[in-house]
Amino acid sequence: MISEGASLPEATLSTLADGQMQNLHTTTLFEDKKVVLFAVPGAFTPTCSQAHLPGYVALADKIKAKGVDSIICLSVNDAFVMEAWGKVNNADEILMLADGNGEFTKQIGLDMDTDTFGGIRSVRYSMLIVDGVVRKINIEDPGRFEVSDAETMLKLL
């Protein structure tokens, strides 16, 4: 599992821009930047939709005011689902990224097998990343939502 002080691995993540699939490399996303990344087990799922994403949407301006270049929401879903979920939640200030096959999530060791619920998914976490290096990571225990929320991240900044 990735830890504080570790560099993020090279991987490609996806988003939709103007209706077109766009593949973004982790180097492009994180090099020479201060980024808040939070990951959820699944778009449109209860805790993710009722608390996790909405918290970051509500505090996006305050988080960015702390010198954060971008806020990224990541899920092992496809880019079409992530775009739709972002639109429903007015997540204009959040980059909604898909880790479609879970490659990045597996590389950092934060994957879980949910079996018939949805297969391989991400555990719930948040990270502060500076120039591609994890400076802080908040990993939730299964079934919990206590340390990866936007308020906790804002306090860390």
Catalytic residues: 48
Largest Cα–Cα distance in the chain?
41
Pick from 45, 53, 51: which is nearest to 118 by CA?
A: 45
DSSP, collapsed to helix, strand or coil, labels residue 83 as helix
Residues with Cβ within 8 Å of 17's Cβ and at least 6 positions away in sequence, in order, are: none
**55 Cβ neighbours under 8 A, 6+ residues apart:** 149, 150, 151
Take residue 65 and report the two structure tokens written for it.
């005011």
